[in-house]
Amino acid sequence: MAEDYDSRLLESARVRKHRLDDSVLFGRNLQERTYATATTRLMQSLLIAALIAAICVGFSFVQHLLSEQAAKQTVPTASVSLSKGTL
């Protein structure tokens, strides 16, 4: 009977230590930790997506401006030369 009591006591201490370790590592409430972690990941994902979208829009805008500038430089300006006898 004494061994049974001792083994139950040791098992109880082991479970209590395990719960205490989990509490220190992961927080008090597992459901609350999961919700906070999921919300944080969602906000981080949205921030990264917005940053990538802004970079793409900025790159496209700069590329469009440079192509317009290059097109203006390559198009020769038409000069009209009038001779004195045509008017």
Q: What is the largest CA-CA distance in the chain?
A: 130
Q: Quick one: pLDDT at residue 74? A: 84
- Residue for token pair 């944080």: 40
> Residue 27 pLDDT more than 90?
no
Higher pLDDT, 56 or 33: 56
Residue 1 has pLDDT above 60, yes or no: no
CA distance 36 to 27: 11
Rounded Cα distance, 34 and 38, in Å? 6
pLDDT band at 4 (very low <50, low <70, confident <90, very high): confident
